[in-house]
Amino acid sequence: MQDSHATQTTPAADLGSNSAIGRKLKAFYDDVASEPVPDRFLSLLDALDKAEQRAGGSLGEQEGA
């Protein structure tokens, strides 16, 4: 017995709308990814690196415990 409400779709039809969405998302992401990193964020990353260097191996010792 077949369900009269069932519809058959081809994979190509489903990918059509997904492909269009994917292309738009990729274009948007590429624009964002190509923007320069803000100076404030770079400063925060630099401060984090320095703090990790000052902590030395103590962080690694705590993780292994």
Along the chain (65 residues), what's the average pLDDT of each consecutive run of 10 residues?
54 70 93 93 96 77 51
64 in a domain, yes or no? Answer: no
Q: In whole angstroms, what is the distance from residue 35 CA to residue 31 CA?
A: 7
Q: In whole angstroms, what is the distance from residue 22 CA to residue 28 CA?
A: 10
2 in a domain, yes or no? Answer: no
Tokens, residue 2: 């077949």
CA atoms within 13 A on the CB side of 13: 4
pLDDT at 29: 93
26 in a domain, yes or no? Answer: yes
48 in a domain, yes or no? Answer: yes
pLDDT at 16: 75
- Cα–chain center distance at 28: 13
Identify the domain containing residue 30 by its residue range: 11-57
- Domains held by the chain: number: 1
pLDDT at 65: 46
